[in-house]
Amino acid sequence: MKTIRQVLGAKALSIISITPDALIYDALVILAEKHIGALLVLEGDHLAGIFSERDYAREVVLKGRSSRTSLIKEVMTTNVITVSPQNTVEECMSLMSGKRIRHLPVVEDGKVTGILSIGDLVKETIAEQEAVIKQLEHYIQG
């Protein structure tokens, strides 16, 4: 099973983030433009939280807040679960499934080095399974 470092190495890496003092509306614009489901909330290099579509639904829409006047820091998830580049895809899949989360920031030496979505991990798992199937087919045929 691959490590997260290997997965991030193959992924077009760009850390898309926002600050805690930004408007929720600005975060929604970024999510829509980038076709992503979550933004890291950074204060400098420090991970302050994460803002996701789920946060928007639960903390803005259902509570009657305005995205044009409310700040990210009022609704972001602050108890963020993170992983390191040394973790494996399997460990991260298990963690995401167990905690019912869709995004995992990757942190090394206190700095964010990337973010994984459940889609990234599913894609990697499928690719690995396809490689094993090809090896077995080759073994059986040859």
What string of H, E and C letters represents the secondary structure of 30-83?
Answer: HHHHHCCCEEEEEECCEEEEEEEHHHHHHHHHCCCCCCCCCEHHHHCECCCCCE
The CB density around residue 31, as the number of other CB atoms within 10 Å, is 19
Mean pLDDT of residues grouped by 10 in the chain (142 residues)?
Answer: 87 86 98 96 94 95 95 97 96 96 94 92 90 87 81
For the domain that residue 24 is a member of, what is the CATH number? 3.10.580.10
Domain encompassing residue 72: 4-141
Residue type, position 42, single letter: L
Whole-prediction pTM: 0.86
pLDDT at 121: 94
pLDDT at 139: 85
Q: How many domains does the chain have?
A: 1
10, containing H or E segment: helix 4-10
